[in-house]
Amino acid sequence: MADRPVGVTIVSIYVFVNAGIGVAWTYRFWRTMNRVLVSDFGTIAWVQRLLFLLGFVLIFGSVWAGVGLLRTQNWARRFVIVFAGFGFLGSLVRTWQVLFDGDVLLLFTSLLGLSIMASVIWYLFRPRVRHAFGLQKPSHSGGCESR
């Protein structure tokens, strides 16, 4: 097993923090929906339960991926790349919406999310990081090999 780069540890901490935020948002969603749905409205209550379950599945998956990153397992790297891609697309859509809204704080947070997701994806594709996950040897020539 190759040495784990410090950046992989930072990305895994970021994944753990996002899982913690996910717990808070899922709990908030549950509390809000319980106030709205005082009685059982059939389909709406099932949708609520399904979304709650989906939230905790994603949270569990994030924690599992964070541990996998710390153990330099390639499936965790792929998982984080895919979900960072979803986060990038979501931030891109949110940035586009906020751009015409005029809210500077929301624009800043959307651009921050966009840059974080792009950085995570870029970092996890770097040759040294890929090598840490057992995929390829890092290039020491900077991409210019002499023959």
Burial of 8 (0-12, 13-18, 19+ CB in 10 A): buried
Average of pLDDT values for 68-80?
94
Domain containing residue 114: 6-132
Give 7-55 pLDDT, tens digit per residue.
999 999 999 999 988 888 888 877 777 666 555 556 666 777 787 788 8
Instruction: Examine residue 76 and state whether it is found in any structural domain, yes or no.
Output: yes
Average pLDDT, the chain: 83
For tokens 């919406």, what's the residue? 97
Structurally, the chain folds into a number of domains equal to 1
Per-residue model confidence (pLDDT) at position 136: 73
Asked if residue 50 is part of any domain, the answer here is yes
The answer to whether residue 22 is domain-embedded is: yes
The answer to whether position 141 is within a domain reads no
